[in-house]
Amino acid sequence: MALNPSLYIQTIVKKYGINLRGSKQRINIRYNPNLVVLGKVKKSNPTVIEIGSQGISDDITLANTIAHELNHVRSWLKGGNAPESTAYTAGDALEDYIRSKQ
């Protein structure tokens, strides 16, 4: 999967049943090898999540990053301010769930 980050991202979304919708809009995830953080979403373009190289280091990191960024996306789409505290909670909750199933 390391040779095809986009396929890896799709595989993890499917494997963990991550819902890529928010406010009835489809959320897209794009791999950005130049991104120096795990993941990023811009308030000005909230339906696109970018994942960096560090974000695809393993299944759990990727799932956590997607859940974290989805929390920002959904907050912005609802008109909220997308605080980091709730985004970390969302990512960590998915990670805890995954670890409990291993």
- pLDDT at position 3 is 81
Architecture of domain 5-100: 2-Layer Sandwich (3.30)
pLDDT bucket at 99, cuts 50 / 70 / 90:
very high
Task: Specify whether the CB–CB gap between 55 and 68 falls below 8 A.
Answer: no
pTM, 2 dp: 0.94
* pLDDT tens digits, 46-92: 999 999 999 999 999 999 999 999 999 999 999 988 899 999 999 99
Burial class (CB within 10 angstroms; exposed 0-12, middle 13-18, buried 19+) of 40 = middle
Query: Tokens in use for 78?
Result: 């609802």
Q: Where are the domains of the chain?
A: 5-100
